[in-house]
Structures are given as structure tokens and as C-alpha cells.
Structure 1
Amino acid sequence: MRRGRRYGLCAEQKADLWHRWKSGESLHEIGRVFDKDHGSIHFLLSRHGGIAPAIRRRSQRTLTLAEREAISRGIASGSSIREIARGLRRAASTVSREVARHGGRPVYRASEADHQAWKSALRPKTCLLATHVKLGTIVARKLILDWSPEQISGWLERRYPRNESMRVSHETIYRSLFIQARGVLKKELMQHLRSKQLIRRSVHARAGGQSRGQIVDAISISERPAEIEDRAIPGHWEGDLLSGPGNSHIATLVERHSRFTILVKVPSKDTATVVDALTRQVRKLPASLRRSLTWDRGLEMAKHKSFTVATKVNVYFCDPQSPWQRGTNENTNGLLRQYFPRKSDLSGYSQADLDKVAQRLNQRPRKTLGFETPASKLQAIVASTG
């Protein structure tokens, strides 16, 4: 294939491109396959918001290219419109409108007529959120609160259990955002999505892992009681440090049963500083919510024994390079990147700022909780334990 932006892709190549994008291949990988710059691939994908356009099919009621060629030959031989229509077993009015629509008998050409008919037949489907103003308004308001499309969809189903007109799938919300030609949801709302990407990325896109250091005298996660695994008993937490440039960090704590999140400001990664900050925060919790803490192998928890003495909370550590063993916390840290991008300096946030972010996160419905919020889930726990 010749290199350069001026040479496009045929229909078969475009289908292959969308298949690769949906499979999770990167822009650079796809570009190498088609001998194009990754910017050219991004341009092609962004025109549709990263969402593969639906395959177009001809209606059985429309004239085919073969029928249009028969009309062109009939005109060239001097046949009347009725004679041509009888040969095609079509109504004379159908053939008459076809010829008139494309310039009349003197200039009618089958290929040009077929191309123009195919092009003019494209009609953008009216989006649900464009026809349902109330539903569109609710969706926009929830997006401003940083709810994900999936959270909005699940919440609507719980909020309006008997009103199917107040339902919308998360895919429809994504399409209304990424396919800007629909003009339903404002482009600015895309900034409230967790990824802040301008095109839809496949769920199969690969993500790199990360390795962690080791810690002395760590109590292995394999020694953690079985009651922690099933999340039935509240008060078991997972923790980690969210890092930023300039050696800036935020300590994150997530309760496994309710997914309730606490953010703690830490001036540095020094173990004494981190343990002291976590101790002060954990001691504010009711006794029923202070049972255990699972951490990774970061040396910031080297003084875990001091933490346990001060809080009566046992600390367990994941196996080396196994962040998935703290899956709840890892997922929450991903959610927090919506508020604290990777290149943002975390030292400029006060504890009050962190509390506001945690409150917003705890008031967002979670699919894993049946679209309840972590705040309501934790409140119910506290109320039941007195």
C-alpha cells in the first residue's frame, strides 16, 4: 500500500481496522498493519468517536444497480418508461421518478444514479436522549457529578423500576457523547468521564502492570482470615499510596464490604509519616469498622506493627508484584485518577479537598453493590451495629 494520508482505505480494510480497534490493538499497531501514521488512524476512528459505525444494507424495496443499468439501456434504445417498468416488474411511477431525480433521459447514468441514491439514503438515527428531554437532562446532570454511564444506567433502573421510558443503556450514553454528530450531550460533559478520552476505547485494550518493593516482617495475605475474603463482615480495608510527580502522595483506604473510600493527606512517603497519618484517620472510625488492613509491599508501611498497636488493626501484605490481591483498592485508585491525573502534583491538595473528592466518589452508585452507593451501604452498617 502506498504511504500517505491521501490514500484511503477500502471497505474491507476499514472493517479490518475496526475489528483490530475493538480487539484492543493500539493506534501504532494498527498503523503499522496499514502502513499509515498512527495520527491517520486516530483521525479515521475519531470521526465516529471510536465506535464502529453500523454496517449499511440496501432495502429490498429500492432499485438495485442492475435495475438502474437496465433503465439506462432502455433509455439508450428509445424504450418508453412504461416498457422499461414492465421489463423490471416495477411501477411506471417508480421508474419515472428515478429518471427525473437524476437529470432526466438525456443525462441519466446508472452508476452515478446508484452512487447518489446510496449517499442520499444515509439518515442518522434519532438518538433516544434527543427525543426524551427529561431523560437527557437527568443523564447530563449525573455526568456532571462524575457518574459513569454504567452507573447512570443502573441507577435509573432502580429509581424508575416501573417506568421503562426512563431507561437508557450505558452504550447509548457513550454514543451520545462520542458521536458528536448527534448533538445531544455537550462535548464538555466528556471531561467528566473517568478516562477523559475523546474516543471510545475497547475494553480489551491492554494495560501494563506495575511492580512493588518488599517489606520486612510482612504478614502474608495467605494468613488472612477466611471471613475477609467473602466481604460478609464489614471493617476490613485495603490501602495504598496514590502517587504524583515531585514525590507527592495521597493515602487511599477502601472498605471491602461497602467500597467506602477514605483519602488521607500525607506530606511524604516516609514510613513514620504515613503510619502516623493513617493511625489518626483509622482511630476516628467506630470499633466495628476497625478489623484489618491489607497493603501492598510498599516500604511506607514498614512500621506496620506500630500501626497495629495504636489501632488494634492487623495489617496483611500482598505477595510481591501481585496488586490484583487488593483488587478493590486498585480499582478505586483507577477511579481516583479522574480527579488526580497521573501528571498532577498531589501536594497542593488539602485534607478538605480530599474529603470532597472522597464524598463525591462515595455518593456514586456502584454496579457491584446493585447500584447502591458506598455511603448508603456504610451508613446501613453503622446503623445496624448501633
Structure 2
Amino acid sequence: MTTTEITDLTRTCQPTFTTAGLLTALETAWTAIRTRHPEVPDAVLVVGSGSPAKGSQSMKWGHFASLRWQSGDTQLPEVLVSGEGLQRTPAEVFTTLLHEATHGLADTRGIQDTSRQGRWHNKKFATLAAELGLTARKDDKFGYSPCTLTDTAAAEYAATITTLAAALRAYRHPEPTGNGKQRTNNNNGVSAECECPRKIRLSKTAFEEGGPIVCADCNTAFLPETVDRDTYSHPTFGPACTHGDTPARTYEFGDCHVCGTSGVPVMRPTNPDPRGPLFVCIDGKACEARCDIDSGPEDPMVFYDPTGERYGIPTFPYRFAPDGLATLRQLHTQNLRPGGQSVAAQLMWRRGKRVAYLYRIDLAKPKRTATPAQLAALDKANRAKRICPACGQFKPYQIPRRSGACLDCTPGGPS
């Protein structure tokens, strides 16, 4: 190969499209967003494939992935812009950047704006998107993921969009997914996810019967993708009344029409029954109040003991905590801590195998915040765990205690 031929193949001498100008325009647009919204993190921008793996899936215009890149001692998130999406208008491509910047803003503030492995965008995402100049509309499958650029944002970023338009000179063709027959049923019933997200499979009958299946880690129900989590309300305990058109399956506190006791758990249908009192059928008896809370271990109301006579301290079924009491997790979400107070009551469910202690909110104290010195000490300790004693190099992971050295210095590890 001659010198002239080599020169003709260098990047600066190519007469056709190169990605250098495209990436520069995308990074310039990201910088413009960060200039107006400093909480949006710095990121590594890449252009890649957005084609779905299956023909039944949707095209992906972009994604935000936290802490995917390492630059020295700093971890940076990744923002991907799909090559297939570059055939859209410059304003739509810039909208994708603002969409991913919304995820970056949520990551900075520690807000969980998605669930179902990032597919479902909740109302928190819509709120943050509006802050950045987007209007989010709700989709049955992806939540508030579809976004459009507001007129105000379009005017503010007009120069940036014009610069981006000059760089959008090529786009990527979608990957072929095949036109063969797609399998529509995996014979495994319902696939449900919590917000962790963890996934389970169970039969449709098992999912629809009884109460919700709740994840012990995130305390959210396992739901199929087709269910709107924001508006979901699962029926709780108790058999349904056969009298009303729309039977209710939730307990409430009321007066027993049989014995006259006040403030006991009763069940009421959502529609009044013209033939009798507003109480749901219990144990096959038409429209009787729920007075006997000792019917057996299967009934969650067996844990209704507000005086503590049975369990030693006031005890309530799951989701029946009185106002003014909260669990540790609920206190933490309000930036509170028990502050040395004793347990005021407890929640009990799953035949008494699960217990959550309740504390008085009025006696709770604000959570302690770490001082700058404490944060510096923690950072120093975490950094020390990533320095290999053998070679002295800083690693992006903690040195395994089993070997006492990094993977490069461990026999049999990466060379």
C-alpha cells in the first residue's frame, strides 16, 4: 500500500460521513442542558444500536445507565443515543437527550423514577421532565415515557438544535428481527415484577385469588406489566358479598348491627344492598358484621388487638396501622428516626410470622446528618479498601478479602 493510499484512508481525509462531528454535536447539546440544569450529571455519550431483540418489542431511542464508565478515580454515567433514532427530526433527537437528562437528574437526587427494569416511567419522572422542559403523556405500557418538547424549551435551545441538525447526516438501519411466527404464550401463567425489580411467575388463578403478593425488600406488590402501578388497588382480605353488584373485599371500622359494639372491624360492599344492612357476607352468613375476630389463623383480623391484651402490645393487621404511627422504613422516608422511644405497637401478618414495629411520629426526631469530617472519613476508608496491598494501585472495586490482593495480583486472575 502506497503512502497516498494510506493518506486517503485517514479519518481527516475521508470525503464521507464520520462520527466525530455527530458526537461533538451531541456532547455540545448535553453541555447546553447541564448549563441550564447543573444537577444533570456529566456523562459519556455514545451512539449505538436501539433495535429490539424481538419483533414484538419497541425501538429504543436512548438510555441512561448510572456509573458505567471509569475515568481515573471518577465513575461516570452513560447516555446512549440510538443510531436508528437519528433519522428523526433534530428536535426529536434533542428531546431524547432531555429525556435521558431527566433520568440523570433523578439519579443525582436519589429519586426512583422508573420500575420494571426501567421500562415503566412513573409520575416522579413526569414531574422531573416538566422541570427540564418536557411534556410527558401517559402510555399504557411505558407510563410517562413519551415526551414532547415544550415551546419554551424549543425557544431556549433553538441554537443547540440548529447545531445538532447540521450534524445529523446519517442514521443506522434497524436490525432484522424476522417475520416468522412469534410465540405469544409461554404457558407459565402470569409474569409479575415488583419495583426492585424482581420477577416471579405464577398461575393466573393464584395471582387473582387472595391478597397481593408483596416483596419483602421494597414493600411493593408483584404486578404484571399490563397493570398500571400508579392506579392499582388490589382487593384485600375477606370473602366477597354475593348481594351487591360490585362486591367489596376490604375491612373498615364501624358499628356491629348484631351486638351493637362500636369501632370493630366490619366489611361493607361498595354498593348498598337494598335487601338488608350494608355488611358483607361472612362465613356463609348473609350480611352479618365481623364481630368475632378470633375466627382462626387464616383471618388477618385475628391480629387486631388494639389494647395489647393478647399479644402484650397493641397489635394490628397489615395496612391497619392507626394514624400517628409509622414503621422504621416509613420514618426514614420522612427523614425521621425513633429517637430512643419504645415500640408503641406492632403490625402482624402471614400467620404471625411477619412483624413490623410501629413508633409514634410525634416523638420521632430528625435523622442525624453526617458531618463533612465523617463523610471524609468514610470516603477515605472506602478508598483504602480499593488499594491493592501488593501492587499499590487503586482499583474500581474493593480488594477481595479472601485473597488480600487485586485480581491482577491474584494467581490465576486476569493478566
Q: Report if TM-score (shorter chain) is over 0.5.
A: no
Structure showing the higher strand proportion among its residues: 2
Structure showing the higher helix proportion among its residues: 1
TM-score band, normalised by the shorter chain?
A: under 0.3
